[in-house]
């Protein structure tokens, strides 16, 4: 309740100082999540990288989903390099049973995902499409990824100072791209942004 009171207060105050102090994106020590699996998992902690989370609603398969700036700057974030193995929709569901972040946000970006430009290059965004405040992009959303093409799944908190574990169940046609030769190049380019 105290959280929601804070949210309401923050809305009333607009973009005032009710939200946490902004942080500078820091991906220096972030590591890409790899592995061939249908589960994406990890934890957001006080040492996680941060970015200025966007806000959105619509899906665009042309990598131009209309995202807008949000007041939620400096959100903890983790991102996964993924690809689809076919032309069917993909599904990603934040599993409440394996997640203790109280409110997640899930975004899929086309390559490249640039944390310093969170409004660009997105294909899908979801805040509360899953259980409670958990995020989910489901089959009926129709998010079709071009096979063998790199995309980025970005999992962040909704609000400031939220931490905890997360577990994202994914469809079988979604795999992480450690076997994709461009991964290291992509990651290097991403990290070089902050060096």
Binding status of residue 26 toward Ca ion by CB under 5 A: no
CA distances from 38 to 77, 118, 126, 172 (A): 20, 25, 19, 6
Cα(153)–Cα(66) distance, rounded to whole angstroms?
A: 17
Choices 12-20, 82-90, 102-110, 165-173; region in contact with Ca ion by CB under 5 A = 102-110
Residues 35-54 that bind Ca ion (CB under 5 A): 52
Closest C-alpha among 23, 33, 142, 16 to residue 79 = 33
Binding status of residue 138 toward Ca ion by CB under 5 A: no
Minimum distance of Ca ion from residue 145's CB (angstroms): 22
Binding status of residue 78 toward Ca ion by CB under 5 A: no
Indicate which single residue of 127, 152, 168, 177 sits in contact with Ca ion (rule: CB under 5 A): 127
Cα(75)–Cα(155) distance, rounded to whole angstroms?
A: 10
Binding status of residue 69 toward Ca ion by CB under 5 A: yes
Binding status of residue 73 toward Ca ion by CB under 5 A: yes
Binding status of residue 126 toward Ca ion by CB under 5 A: no
Which CB sits closer to Ca ion, 7 or 144? 7
Residue 93 CB coordination number (10 Å): 20
Please state whether 27 falls in left (phi above 0), alpha (psi between -120 and 50) or beta: alpha
Binding status of residue 128 toward Ca ion by CB under 5 A: yes
Closest C-alpha among 85, 83, 103, 82 to residue 94 = 103
Binding status of residue 57 toward Ca ion by CB under 5 A: no
Residues 154-183 that bind Ca ion (CB under 5 A): 158
Minimum distance of Ca ion from residue 44's CB (angstroms): 13
Which CB sits closer to Ca ion, 91 or 127? 127
Binding status of residue 95 toward Ca ion by CB under 5 A: no
Which CB sits closer to Ca ion, 90 or 134? 134
- Block residue for tokens 């989903």: 65
| Per-residue b or e along 141-171, where b marks 16 or more CB atoms closer than 10 Å to that residue's CB | bebbbeeeebbbbbbbbbbbebeeebbbbbb
Query: Which residues of the chain form contacts with Ca ion (CB under 5 A)?
Result: 52, 69, 73, 103, 127-128, 133, 158
């Amino acid at each position: 309740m105290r959280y929601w009171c804070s949210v309401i207060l923050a809305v009333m105050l607009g973009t005032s100082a009710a939200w946490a102090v902004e942080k500078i994106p820091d991906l220096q020590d972030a590591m890409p999540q790899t592995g061939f699996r249908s589960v994406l998992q990890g934890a957001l902690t006080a040492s996680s990288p941060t970015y200025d989370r966007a806000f959105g609603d619509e899906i665009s398969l042309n990598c131009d989903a209309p995202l807008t700036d949000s007041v939620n700057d400096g959100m903890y974030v983790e991102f996964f390099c993924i690809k689809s193995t076919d032309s069917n929709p993909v599904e990603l569901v934040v599993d409440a049973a394996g997640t203790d972040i109280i409110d997640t946000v899930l975004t899929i970006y086309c390559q490249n995902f640039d944390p310093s430009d969170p409004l660009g290059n997105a294909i899908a965004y979801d805040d509360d499409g899953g259980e409670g405040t958990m995020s989910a992009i489901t089959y009926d959303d129709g998010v079709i990824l071009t096979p063998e093409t790199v995309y980025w799944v970005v999992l962040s908190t909704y609000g400031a100072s939220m931490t905890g574990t997360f577990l994202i169940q994914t469809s079988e046609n979604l795999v992480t791209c450690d076997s994709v030769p461009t991964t290291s190049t992509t990651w290097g380019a991403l990290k070089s942004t902050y060096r």
